[in-house]
Structure 1
Amino acid sequence: MLRAREFLHKMEFPVQDGYDLISSTQTFDDGGQYRIEIPSVEGAATMEAVITEAKKLGVKVNRVSQGSGIMLLSDKEIADMVEMGRQESIEVCLFIGPRMNFDIGGSAYSDSGNLLGWRHSGMDQLAYALEDVFRAVDLGIRSLLIADEGLLWLIDQAKMNGDLPKELVLKVSALMSPPNPVTGKIMQELGGTTLNIPGDLTLPKIAAFREALFAPLDLYIESPDNLGGFLRYYELPEIVRIAAPVYLKFGLRNAANIYPSGVHLEAVSVSQAKEKVHRAAVGIETLKRYAETVQSTSITYAL
């Protein structure tokens, strides 16, 4: 292994996973080590329920993210979510438009091709996706959820060229999770400003990511079933210590698949989102019980 590790060292990467579990010295800009994200907040009604439940349980939610796509939200729904985000200092992160699992092709549903489902097929779909982006930004959205490397690069180029705001957050989806720090660095260089990493990474593997990257990491503390269904509540203190700055994501095991969502699934979306806030409250209690040194501070949602 000597030659391989010498080469990794020369390329300024960790030469192995971080078995020594070094504490991260990085934080968010406001000094916080962690923030709370509630995923699958599919529209204004669900976001309103998240806010109400968070106030009831004393949870500071920093980010909500959506999965059905910008294209399935009306202008008013997006504007309402933006306004709630501004009032409550919550980052509103919306997934981008049509992708392969919404298209007429069948490869995204095959055994070997199902991981393609959240990427964009052909130039037409990329153009549709970009149109989704420009519309959402015009309506005030400043955070986007992306699962296609080409689209990530295009949006980053648009930011650099002045066609999109420089402060636009580009969140790499869990459906495009980098499984190692080298892939993570590629995602970061393509423009990813916050990176979902696989929910089943061991603590040493997470520590190696933090050694190599400066972007905030996003990690499911409770994963939905299609991402493994992991529950990692007792690991929270160590995760925050070694991974900061980190978004702690509270999905829900044994939850219904609601993509693409709508009024026909709104009651399910709302009830599941409320339980995710409850799970976040349990997670924060666990974190505070076993690690008084970690801290969270609020985020200002810039419009």
Structure 2
Amino acid sequence: MADTSGTEVMRHASRARAWLRDNGLPYSDEIPLRVSGAEFDAGGHYGVEVPVVNSLRVLEATLGMLRAEGLAVTRFNETLGAMLLSDSEVTDMLTLCRENDVGMVLALGPRPEYDRKAAFYRGGFGASQGRRINNNDALAQTVEEAIRLTELGCRGLIAYDLGVIRVLKEMRGAGVLPADLMIKASSHCAVSNPVTARIYQENGADSVTTMHDLGLAVLQDMRRVAPGLTMDVPVDVYATKGGFIRFYEVPELVQICSPMMLKIGASAQSHPHDPVNANTIAQRVQRVALCLEYLARSGIEARYVSHASPHRCLPETIGSRPPCRS
């Protein structure tokens, strides 16, 4: 047998790989990693996003612990669905975020778990539906939620359905929703490859939470194929979603995915619906500090997102109603 050591391996699916490569599409997981070089529109490479801040009580406690540790974050995510919050609580949360110079992204509903017409979602095969809505009334109610929340000053919305994202884009273009509204695709949209990411960008998403287990090569091609999309990358994950923590990869993620949000703190919970208490919040804040320490220790050039970027989703001041704090 001839000595073939050192010879390049012949890859399977070679015709497909050649066509994909020649047409500028992803073709392999074994590609050189390169610095993105892109920044947010107003400057900066990365921001910090903290999920599961679902009530005024949790928001107040989280802000207090962040201040005590000398930490700043870019924006919070409310993830249960803002339809579960009154106008008063939404207004108070947005006001508190504005006062503390931090953004808030609120989740749209109704989602299938709240919708009596989404019986399939509750069945054994319901996971295949994701959180996509399956009836016209739910679409209308979701749009009404978008109008309500933006009227209260919200400038960041999380959507779970590609069709909803497209409608929000059209409403924003028509002036029904604010021009500076940021539309975020949830991880439940299952954006797991670069071509899907491009479809979400083309249909109105300004940012997308990537699937939790994507490798560096896939994320790099996602950045290349969807250059206008901010990538919100989970760097630690709920135990029920895998439980992994990729802090050592944070410097690579920032270089490859910029402009991007480091989505930090999920590993403080086993499941996103677990109750949040003081210990949960303290662990979440500790994860933020630790992740940023890994980034600082790497020595790479990485600038925090500019204060002027609309991707911060800083709430607008609407009306003059004073906040009602208990």
Q: Same fold (TM over 0.5)?
A: yes
What is the Cα deviation at residue 274 of structure 1? 3.4
* Cα displacement (A) at 1:43: 1.4
Query: Are 2:287 and 1:275 equivalent residues in the alignment?
Result: no
Code of the residue aligned with 1:175 in structure 2: it is H
The runs of at least 4 consecutive aligned structure 1 residues that moved more than 6 Å come to none
The equivalent residue for 1:46 is 58
Counterpart of 2:160 in structure 1 is 147
The reply to whether residue 158 of structure 1 matches residue 171 of structure 2 is yes
Contact 1:153/1:191, CA 8 A, preserved across alignment: yes
- 1:1-303 aligned at under 5 Å gives the runs 1-9=13-21, 11-17=23-29, 19-104=31-116, 105-214=118-227, 215-253=229-267, 255=269, 257=271, 259=273, 265=275, 268-269=276-277, 271-300=279-308, 301=314, 303=316
- What's the CA shift for 1:270? 5.0
Check 1:219–1:139 CA distance in 2 against 1; reply closer, same or farther (3 A cut).
same
How far the C-alpha of 1:302 sits from its partner, in A, is 5.7
Q: 1:188 to 1:169 in 2, by over 3 A?
A: same
Amino acid paired to 2:33: L
Pair 280,254 (structure 1): closer, same or farther in 2 beyond 3 Å? closer
The structural deviation recorded for 1:269 is 4.8
Secondary structure class of the residue paired with 1:21 = coil
> Alpha carbon RMSD of aligned pairs, Å?
2.0
User: Which consecutive residues of structure 2, in runs of 5 or more, have no partner in the other structure?
Assistant: 1-12, 309-313, 317-326
| Partner amino acid, structure 2, of 1:79 | T
Q: Give the aligned residue type for 2:38.
A: Q
CA drift at 1:155: 0.7
Query: Identity of aligned pairs, percent?
Result: 31
Note the C-alpha offset of 1:272: 2.2
Shift of the 270–258 alpha-carbon distance from structure 1 to 2, 3 Å rule, reads farther
| Alpha carbons of structure 1 residues 258 and 247: separation in structure 2 relative to 1, 3 Å | closer
Pair 11,273 (structure 1): closer, same or farther in 2 beyond 3 Å: farther
Cα deviation digits, residues 193-224 of structure 1 (max 9, x gap) = 00111111111111111111121101111111
- CA distance in 2 between partners of 1:271 and 1:123 (Å): 41
Q: TM-score when scaled to structure 2?
A: 0.85
Kindly provide the CA deviation profile for residues 176-200 of structure 1, in whole angstroms up to 9, marking residues without a partner as x.
1311110000011110000111111
State the Cα distance separating 1:93 from its structure 2 match: 0.3
Q: Which SS does the other structure have where 2:191 is aligned?
A: coil
Q: Normalized against structure 1, the TM-score is what?
A: 0.91
Equivalent pairs counted in the alignment come to 297
Moved more, 18-27 or 288-297: 288-297
